[in-house]
Amino acid sequence: MEIAGKSALVVGGASGLGAATARRLHAEGASVVIADLNAEKGEALAGALGERASFAEANVTDSEQVQAAVDAAAGAAGGLRISVCCAGIGWAQRTVSKRGPHDLEVFSNVVQVNLIGTFNALRLAATAMTNNEPDDGGERGVCLNTASIAAFDGQIGQVAYSASKGGIVGLTLPAARDLAGRGVRVVTIAPGLFDTPLLAALPQEQREALGQGIPFPSRLGRPEEYASLVAEIVANPMLNGETIRLDGALRMPPR
């Protein structure tokens, strides 16, 4: 599917992987709705992109707010054809530690944002896409999710995060099968260690050491590389029902 002339929704699009994705899709000619909780950053990015870009304040777990963002994207020229969900949070805590068992409320919150929030964006965007006229290949849209290699290589203390990201991997194929008859594809990207705000708080030495542990290239991934894969997935109709690792051949050790 061509990107130019289409409308795209990027949930969690105000920073990091989402912001890079919004920039890439916009540069390739899409109208982009940036949905995020951070209104300051989201509005600034939309303003920097200019024409064909807008911001919608939305919590990924709030159905009404996400629906409003979907409606805004569906009302743009070309109709909503591309949806990318990058929203997510992290947390580090062992199943049992010196303080006792893992905080159940925290575990629930991570799953609520990462897994249920992703599905919320997917179900609402896909519903809007089914109203599109199919293109020459019968395609009405594509929904992209963001998991993590922690879904496969979860480290000590990542039980909540890994469970939430593993759930995204698990729903990808059945969702693609659910939507196949409607001409909507579903694909998940599982990034490795990327230079995003989640790692920005670490000292430079520690960030460099993390990058050196990646087989090749031995550096942190760049958000633009994630965005490049998004563009390729949109363009290639045979990419469907799959989770793609984007990690430089990294396999995370236990700790």
> Does residue 206 surpass a pLDDT of 90?
no
The pLDDT assigned to 205 comes to 81
Please report whether residue 252 resides in a domain: no
The per-residue pLDDT for range 149-169, each reduced to its tens digit, is: 999 999 999 999 999 999 999
pLDDT band per the 50, 70, 90 thresholds, residue 227: very high
Please report whether residue 253 resides in a domain: no
Please report whether residue 1 resides in a domain: no
Round the average pLDDT of the chain to a whole number and report it: 95
The span from the CA of 55 to the CA of 33, in Å, is 6
- For the domain that residue 48 is a member of, what is the CATH number? 3.40.50.720
pTM: 0.95
Please report whether residue 88 resides in a domain: yes
Hey, how many other C-beta atoms are within 10 angstroms of the C-beta on 64? 8
The pLDDT assigned to 198 comes to 73
Q: Do residues 143 and 185 lie in contact, with contact meaning Cβ atoms separated by under 8 Å?
A: yes
> Does residue 1 surpass a pLDDT of 70?
yes
> Does residue 77 surpass a pLDDT of 70?
yes
The span from the CA of 155 to the CA of 192, in Å, is 13
The pLDDT assigned to 148 comes to 97
Q: Quick check: helix, strand or coil at residue 3?
A: coil
Please report whether residue 39 resides in a domain: yes
Q: Quick check: helix, strand or coil at residue 143?
A: strand
The pLDDT assigned to 61 comes to 97
Read off the pLDDT of each residue in 57-79 and give the average, rounded to a whole number.
96
What is the total count of domains within the chain? 1
Is position 226 annotated as part of the catalytic site?
no
What does each C-alpha distance from 234 to 72, 94, 143 come to in angstroms?
20, 38, 9
The per-residue pLDDT for range 4-41, each reduced to its tens digit, is: 999 999 999 999 999 999 999 999 999 999 999 999 99
pLDDT band per the 50, 70, 90 thresholds, residue 106: very high
Read off the pLDDT of each residue in 229-245 and give the average, rounded to a whole number.
98
Domain region containing 108:
7-246
The span from the CA of 14 to the CA of 4, in Å, is 21
Please report whether residue 255 resides in a domain: no
The pLDDT assigned to 201 comes to 67
pLDDT band per the 50, 70, 90 thresholds, residue 208: confident
Please report whether residue 254 resides in a domain: no
Q: Choose among 156, 145, 137: nearest CA to 120.
A: 145
Please report whether residue 78 resides in a domain: yes
The span from the CA of 237 to the CA of 15, in Å, is 27
DSSP string, 168-220: HHHHHHHHHHHHHTTTEEEEEEEE-SB-SHHHHTS-HHHHHHHHHTSSSS-SP
- Catalytic one among 55, 91, 161, 194? 161
